Amino acid sequence: MQNIAMSWARDLSAPVKAALENLLGRPLQDDEQVSLRIYKSHDAPLGEARRAAARRLEEHLDRMAGKAKDVPQNEIETAIDEALEQVRPKRG
């Protein structure tokens, strides 16, 4: 059983496209790619497991921040702008 589906909006059947547009609250453009992932829900960790997960996340974020500590702020902002333009190109 597959848990991931990808398709171009232009290739979707009308009912599927309408359902996705309803879910998103906006029209889909033909040149947009749609991906769908299905995950089983699970309870959030509690107690020590939750604290351990939070520690791991904080350690990971600290490592990421450490890699950028010597990068000038304007270079970071430029990199973010470039990344956003790659995933959300301006239209029109």
Instruction: Return the pLDDT at 56.
Output: 97
Longest dimension (CA), the chain: 51
One-letter amino acid for residue 72 of the chain: P
Percent of the chain with pLDDT over 70: 97
pLDDT in tens, 16-60: 999 999 999 999 999 999 999 998 998 999 999 999 999 999 999
What gap in Å lies between CA 82 and CA 79, rounded to an integer? Answer: 5
Token pair of 65 as six digits: 């921040």
In the structure, what pLDDT confidence band is assigned to residue 89 with cuts at 50, 70 and 90? confident
- CB 14 within 8 Å of CB 42: no
What gap in Å lies between CA 71 and CA 75, rounded to an integer? Answer: 7
What gap in Å lies between CA 90 and CA 45, rounded to an integer? Answer: 39
Instruction: Return the pLDDT at 92.
Output: 54
Q: How many CB atoms are closer than 10 A to CB 21?
A: 14
Compute the C-alpha angle 66/71/77, nearest 5°. Answer: 110
